[in-house]
Amino acid sequence: MKIFGNKGSKRIQSGGQSNESCETPAEKKKKTSRRRMIAAGVILALVLGALVTVKSCVKPPQPPQPEHAETDPVSDQKEENQNGDLQEEQEDENSIKITGMNRKENCFTLLVCGTDEDETRTDTMMFITFDMEEKQIRILNIPRDTMTNTKRNIKKINSAYAVGGIDQTKKEVGMVTGLPVDRYMVVNFNGFIELVDAVGGVDFDVPIRMKYSDPTQDLYIDVEKGMQSVDGKKAVQIMRFRKNNNGTGYPDGDLGRIKTQQNFIMALASKLLRPSSITKIPAISSAIAKNTKTDLSLGEITWLGISILDVDSSNITTDTLPGYDKMLYEPRLGYVQSFYIPKRKEILQLVNEKFNPYTEDITELDLIDISGYSTYKPE
């Protein structure tokens, strides 16, 4: 029964005594200790469960199955040439396929593309090998004018994105490197601007005076030569610069442009790897998330970010796809244009030395044969 009296009265069960009044101090202490142990056990179980979940999600990117499937031909794609005609992209018979080769531990590849203003062409292309066992990051820059073995009218690799998106781009990167693209990231100009601004800008020695304007592209470049603090907007100008309005520019043409891009990426990477950048991770993550298309999962990105923090900046190196500039007449377009022609022997030597994620050497490339091309327009 229950008896209610004054505020101080307690619940009394039949028998007339309170349960609590029957407990000795030692029993009360034991009961409190038991409750704490139960609570601690529940919390520990939750923490362990969270750790198991996180551990299962945070893992290195795995190669696609079947391996190198992304280099399969992309068919039924179309592009518009400069005459306004639609040219159907045909299947290429000689795409690179890799089977039966062993992958290195914790080693994967990533293709990073920076798109142009209207996000139809890849203005910048970097093939990156992350070897987390050796704690090394290798960056291979692929010139935008690289000539690829494709049947479309415009045979430059930077037009692959306009024709078949990232799948066609990955395929053609595989053709000229012989390597698989495990994952990709496509970053637009806004993402690059926000990333540079998120780290507080980058100190960079601009190699030449850059002065160029093209209202049709809404492109305006005005950067002084010399060491300076570069914010996001100036960083994009530096990355996009090719020549001045008066025709001057890099003495070695597009290779000079690529070298400047490499140096700036290295300066940015050095800034990102500083301990002070840890407090800027939210802003950096936001800049990447809003302006990036990628097939990396959140767990893979987390694994990658944690792993990179353990890489010394001296172990981040850059190279350019071996090749040479050449003016060639393209019959299907009807005029001569500049191409970057890949060099087979030098490419195989470079990729096997630095970029190969397999334990065996790469031996195949799918390069275009230019022996039938003229360097001038026939009469």
Domain map (residue ranges) of the chain: 1-46, 58-355
Average pLDDT, the chain: 78
* CA dist 250 → 229, 243, 255, 268 (Å): 21, 7, 8, 22
Q: Which residues are CB-contacts of 307 (< 8 A; sequence separation ≥ 6)?
A: 60, 106, 130, 132
Q: Which CATH superfamily is domain 58-355 in?
A: LCP protein (3.40.630.190)
* CA dist 68 → 134, 187, 330, 342 (Å): 23, 23, 30, 21
Measure the CA dihedral 158/162/164/170, to 10°.
30
Confidence of residue 12 (pLDDT cuts 50, 70, 90): very low
Closest CA to 180 of 108, 237, 247: 108
* CA dist 277 → 8, 195, 262, 270, 333 (Å): 60, 12, 21, 10, 49
| pTM, to two decimals | 0.71
Q: What is the pLDDT of residues 123-176, one digit of tens each?
A: 889 999 999 889 999 999 999 999 999 988 889 999 999 889 999 999 999 999
* Assigned token pair, 222: 């005005």
Evaluate if residue 189 carries a pLDDT over 90.
no
